[in-house]
Amino acid sequence: MATSTSQQLDGRSALVTGGGRGIGRGISMILASRGAEVCVSDIDMAGAEQVAAEINEGGGNAFAAGGNVTDLESISEVAQNAIDKFGKLDICVPNAGVLGGSDFMSRKDYNDRDWDLTWDVNVRGVVNTCDAVVGHMTERKYGKIVIIASHGGREPRGVPDAGRGNVQGPYMVSKAAAIQWTHWLAMNVGQFNINVNAVCPGRLWTPMWQAIAQNHKELNPELADMSIRDIFELQIKGTMPLGREQTPEDIGRVVSFLASDDASEITGQALNVNGGAIMN
């Protein structure tokens, strides 16, 4: 009996939003390495094209698509494109996310723009992406949706205390909403053999955490002489029992498991992949 899991997703097709860099790139690469065909979608088309090219150069099968998750029509077009190209869509990973407004780094307090953006991308964007694929998955009575939330949606935590500023408030609330959406959708589409789960990453050195570390540096005078990478490592050492950061590929491997039939009895769950920083 074959025991290899390397082709766990052979014959499956996947859509990953925000696939052009960071965690979305790692997820796309891992899904492809496990045999899935991947539509790498991102509002940043150049990033999506680069990731799709890397997958194809490595012998996988991917194509790049634009797509703004805040616009149902836009992300529905991407999903339809993937269905047309692959003949079906088995896996959907709503991963695209934002921290807040672009001047987030230098601010202590949130503003309306942070609330609007995190709602539009992290909540409505996730809902739109699910809405774009659920009809197709319902018809086929098969689907795996893996939403990328955050352990911050469970419990905001950090060392030194990021709570000296409120700027991350909207982000944390949006991620809690994404987890609740996971529960709600799982309850409604389980009857169609669609599994809906969330992965809650901890801390990864992507542009998103680089912005958070910069924010910590600007808010906390005692961190002024540290590099943003050292601030990030301080957070890791101070909060993670495993004492190390997560990588995009770590997240991709867990997404791959939840998207596989090995996880067919798991639905409505939010799984922390955070080195044990928050244990619930």
Ligand X SMILES: NC(=O)c1ccc[n+]([C@@H]2O[C@H](COP(=O)([O-])OP(=O)(O)OC[C@H]3O[C@@H](n4cnc5c(N)ncnc54)[C@H](O)[C@@H]3O)[C@@H](O)[C@H]2O)c1
Window 225-254: residues binding ligand X (CB under 6 A): none
Residue whose C-alpha is closest to residue 189's, from 241, 277, 130, 233: 130
Q: Are 54 and 29 a contacting pair, CB within 8 Å? A: yes
154 binds ligand X (CB under 6 A): no
User: Could you say which DSSP state residue 142 is in?
Assistant: -
The CA distance from 21 to 254, in Å, is 18
Of 11 and 163, CB closest to ligand X: 163
Laid out side by side, the sheet with 91-93 consists of 62-65, 37-41, 13-17, 91-93, 143-148, 194-201, 270-273
Window 59-98: residues binding ligand X (CB under 6 A): 67-70, 95-98
42 binds ligand X (CB under 6 A): yes
Which residue stretches of 58-149 are H helix?
72-86, 112-118, 125-140
Q: Which of 136, 203, 216, 253 binds ligand X (CB under 6 A)?
A: 203
28 binds ligand X (CB under 6 A): no
Residue whose C-alpha is closest to residue 259's, from 81, 31, 82: 31
| Shortest CB 136 distance to ligand X, Å | 20
- Token pair belonging to 53: 């090219």
| Shortest CB 241 distance to ligand X, Å | 17
Residues classed as catalytic: 171
Of 142 and 275, CB closest to ligand X: 275
Of 139 and 230, CB closest to ligand X: 230
Q: Which of 31, 105, 121, 123 binds ligand X (CB under 6 A)?
A: 121
Contact set with ligand X (CB under 6 A): 17-18, 20-24, 42-44, 47, 67-70, 95-98, 121, 125, 148, 150, 201, 203-204, 206-209
